[in-house]
Structure 1
Amino acid sequence: MVEIGSFIKLQRTKKEMTQGELAKGIVSLSYLSKIENKKTDASPEIIQLLCTRLGIQLKDGFDASIQEKCKQWYNMLFEVNDKEEIITTYNELQEIMDTNLTDSLLMFEIHKIRYYLILGKLDKALVKINELNEMADSFDNLHKYYWYKFRGNYNSASGFFSQAMQLYKLAEEKSNRIDIEVKEIADLQYTIAITHSKLRNTLEVIEYAEKALDIYMKEYNFFRCAQSHIVLGISYRRIKMYEKAIKNYNLARHLGELNKDKQIIQLTNLNLGYLSSAKGDSKDAIHYYLQVVDDPEVEQNARLTSLTALIKEYYSINEIERTKEMIKKGFELIGTKDVEKHKVHYYVLNTYSYAINEQNNQFEKIVINELIPYLTNHKDYANIVVYANMLGNHFEELGKYKESVKYYKLANLTYEELVNL
């Protein structure tokens, strides 16, 4: 049986019962505390009385029907299926778990971290992490694998990629000690590749993306193959191996077209835009960005990402009227309800709007007090260079040379840090 004391504590807190309410007439308060903190082994009779008061049945060992339903739900989370179906199945499982204490409960609780992340509820994911942390020392290697992986997912979603990488490497180490499906191994390798990409560890990206790609090809998982090719393309672009980058992007686009997957096709176009811009070919960059921006079937964030890239491109070649058009389109796409969700895009749109309209005070305020701190917090060094240089140029034009030097220096130091990553 799982660590019973930890689960009594878990169920008690979920039901918002105090220790006194649970212990009354069964055991002393201090003895319940010892049970919950695994400092003593209570008799089966006492455990049964506590479980009865909690309204749960104590089941011994393996329960095939519960485990099978859990497995179905875990697979939904792995593939990120229809959210309504995920929520419905979760509610059904939660009802079972609320009245049964089984060996499936711990894995179910750990998978809740992933569940909350899929729903975009980072605050609830953190509460679950803190809740489970108290019993983490009782986890076996399989539990620890998912514990590390999903905590890594949480840190990635929060923009803390260094911490995420440490957790993913711990999960990788545990994966060598357990029997897991090959698709799970590939998923971890792909996730590590993505995280290395966020950290600009280019050679490591290539290593892990190729490992994942090898498995995805054998499994005929064309969607994941396409994603791996895009990640490889990004890495080759960063080290200026443009032909290899284009080859990977074209392979990704081909797979996207075979599967009629608009998201993959347009993600490829976005990255071909970045590549063209890096090569100084604004005409091609604009062409690729517009493909994404003008496609209503593409998800909102991808369109906004392409749109802000397009704004930078138009602004850099002094196409001011086109820049204004794209800024207006960006604000319309975000609307009034999604500002917090797309905060960085909102900052960028305002930055260029203020710059074009020579609203100097607003421009300085948003870039210095909002945008650069946001980028710093998320370790987005490439964009810190862009906007620090933009500020430097702005102050230079105003004759504020001391401020100008300050931000040119920030851009140079950040670029050096970016190169050394």
Structure 2
Amino acid sequence: MKIININNIPSIDIGRIIASQRLKQNITQKDLSKGICSITYLSKLENNRMEGNDEIIHLICKRLRVDLSSMNKIRENFKENMELFYNSLSEDNQSAIEELWLHLVKLNTDIQNPKLKTYFSLLSARYYIYKQDIKKVSEILGDIGKLKKTLTEEQLAYYQYFSGLNQYLKGNYQAAANKVLEAFVLLKSIGYNDYHLIYHLALLNSHMHNTTVAIFYSNSALQYFQEELNYKRVIDCQIILGINWTRVGEYEKALEYYLKVLRVGKKSNDRFLVGKIYHNIGFLYQKKGDLLNSIKFFSKSLKYKQESELSYLNTIYYLADTHLSLPDDCDRAKYRVEEGLKLSLMCNNSEYHIKFKMLYLFHFNDNMDEYREYLENVCIPFFKEKDDVKALCDCYVKIGDLLVNDNNYYKKGSYYYKMALNLMKTNKQ
């Protein structure tokens, strides 16, 4: 769908152009209007308090050396390129994004229309979301937010959408989903239906383990992207469906989606995609209880990844967890946990360092008090901050398990179980 409804953008703002060009050239209203019109007439024209006579406008523009027809072409070119740019960003068309961005930045210097300027600011925010520059995105959105009362409904919807994507970059999935859903509803109310929002609703709900909702949005987006031949988004939707069908135990359905994506990844020599799908199939077999196949596919996944990548850490974590479930794999599990601790420090990744430390303290450390204190003082505050409901529930249950069998701490153990149950109930609502 289009981010810009061209019909909603007025023609060239002649008054603003005349005023800005006059000031840029250090010409007074008296000098510019001399022999053409009165100063009062020019003032009203510049402030859009009247529509000027075509002949007078022509004479004023001639004196300022302003070519309105050329400016109109620039304006139309600007709108067309913004449209292309938004589509390229939404479809992750890397080869086109940078070229279009540089072209738009150049065109923007000649644009006077405030609505077009606002669209450019919105697309600037979307560009820096693509670049994962949270600081820059927040700065741009902050500036747009100051003009919130002047935004059209469409602009407000995309402001909320991009604010949601910024929250997603920060790992605040619930806040992100709320904003994207608000944007989706607002666009619906004005007759728009941007399926990239629906895709992001699927992605965010998948992150939050809202399985049914994620499947619903994924199927909706998948159908549209298949019709549009948007293969990148088709693959993204199929992966989300594979993940969520796995979660509900529909392993054959999930595997069907994964194998489709795997064929595409191998055919296009996309190592990142192949590595990702091998990991997901490994997780599927882990959930299914087929641990040997799980280890096989997790290990395959690592061959397509580099140690510096977050996805490598993720696969190491699941591989270690699977080894721990096998009675004779303790040494292999310890090796993977220690590898994960080392790599997470090198990559400065707090989340995975905490996860590997949890595994290490529970399985390879005899001091359970140290483990419990780590869960209470480090893990719970961290996952609360990230609004990671699943990890938080897991911590509550782990502490409950440690305490409930000790008569001295039975009540405290029950308290943590209740915390986990209440959190799960709240999340379902």
Query: What is the TM-score with the length of structure 1 in the denominator?
Result: 0.74
Match of 1:324 in 2: 334
Q: Distance in 2 between matches of 1:143 and 1:416?
A: 36
Indicate the residue corresponding to 1:388 in structure 2: 396
2:126 to 93, 114, 120: 114
Of 276, 300, 304, the residue aligned with 2:285 is 276
- Counting only pairs closer than 5 Å after superposition, residues 19-418 of structure 1 correspond to structure 2 as 43=44, 45=46, 63-82=75-94, 86=97, 90=101, 93-94=104-105, 96-98=107-109, 100-102=111-113, 103-176=115-188, 185-296=194-305, 300-317=309-326, 319-336=329-346, 338-339=347-348, 342-355=349-362, 356-358=364-366, 360=368, 362-395=370-403, 401-402=409-410, 403-417=412-426
Distance 1:291 1:391 in 2: 34
Deviation at 1:125, TM superposition (A): 1.6
Give the residue type in structure 2 aligned to 1:202: T
**Residue type of the alignment partner of 1:367:** L
Report the CA distance between 1:132 and its aligned residue. Answer: 0.8
Deviations 1:181-219 (A, max 9, x none): xxx833222112112223433333222211211122223
Letter in 2 for 1:323: A
Q: Secondary structure at the match of 1:129?
A: helix
> Can you list the C-alpha shifts for 1:228-263, whole angstroms capped at 9, x where unaligned?
122112222232223322222223323333333333
- Deviation of 1:408 after TM superposition, in Å, equals 4.0
3-state SS of 1:354 partner: helix
CA-to-aligned-CA distance 1:156-202 (integer Å, 9 cap, x gap) = 2233333333332333234446687xxx8332221121122234333
Secondary structure at 2:194's aligned position in 1? helix
Write the distance in 2 (CA, Å) between the matches of 1:204 and 1:396: 35
More displaced, 398-407 or 109-118? 398-407
Give 3-state SS (helix, strand or coil) of 1:101's partner: coil
TM-score (norm 2): 0.73
The structural deviation recorded for 1:347 is: 0.9
Q: Work out whether residues 275 and 302 of structure 2, in 8 Å CA contact, stay in contact via their aligned partners in 1.
A: no
Counterpart of 2:392, as a letter, is I
1:133: Cα distance to partner? 1.4
User: Distance between the aligned counterparts of 2:275 and 2:305, measured in 1?
Assistant: 11
The residue type equivalent to 1:256 in the other structure is G
Aligned equivalents of 1:174 and 1:71: distance in 2? Answer: 20
Flag the 1:100–1:248 CA change in 2: closer, same or farther, 3 A.
closer
Shift, 1:344, TM fit: 1.0
Q: State the AA in 1 paired with 2:356.
A: L
Hey, what's the Cα distance between the residues in 1 that align with 2:324 and 2:399? 14
* Pair 361,120 (structure 1): closer, same or farther in 2 beyond 3 Å: farther
Of structures 1 and 2, the larger Rg is shown by 2
**1:347 and 1:366 in contact (8 A); partners too:** no
Residue 244 to residue 70, structure 1, CA distance change in 2 (3 Å):
closer
Cα distance between partner residues in 1 of 2:424 and 2:323: 23
Maintained 8 Å contact 2:174/2:387 = no
Contact 2:271 2:305 in 1 (8 A): no
Structure 1, 86-95 or 307-316: larger mean CA deviation: 86-95
Q: Which amino acid aligns with 1:250?
A: L
Q: Which runs of 5+ in 1 are unaligned?
A: 8-25, 27-41, 48-56
Are the counterparts in 1 of residues 201 and 217 from structure 2 also a CA contact under 8 Å? yes
Distance 1:43 1:400, change over 3 A: farther
Asked if 2 retains the 8 angstrom alpha-carbon contact of 1:270 and 1:288, the reply is yes
**Per-residue Cα deviation, 1:314-333 (whole angstroms, up to 9, x for no partner):** 23445332222112322443
Deviation (angstroms), 1:401 = 3.3
Mapped contact 1:226–1:253 kept (Cα < 8 A): no
Aligned twin of 1:23: none
Report the counterpart of residue 7 of structure 2 in structure 1.
none
Contact 2:91–2:230 at 8 Å: present in 1 too?
Answer: no
| Cα 1:114–1:365 shift into 2, 3 Å | farther
Unaligned runs of 5+ in 2: 1-9, 17-27, 29-42, 49-65
Alpha carbons of structure 1 residues 384 and 67: separation in structure 2 relative to 1, 3 Å = same
Are the aligned partners of 1:223 and 1:256 in contact in 2 as well (CA < 8 Å)? no
Deviations 1:342-372 (A, max 9, x none): 3211111222233313355653343222222
Contact kept in structure 2, 1:266 and 1:298, CA below 8 Å: no
> Are the structure 2 counterparts of residues 388 and 44 from structure 1 closer, same or farther at C-alpha, using a change threshold of 3 Å?
same
2:191 and 2:426 map into 1 onto residues whose CA distance is 40
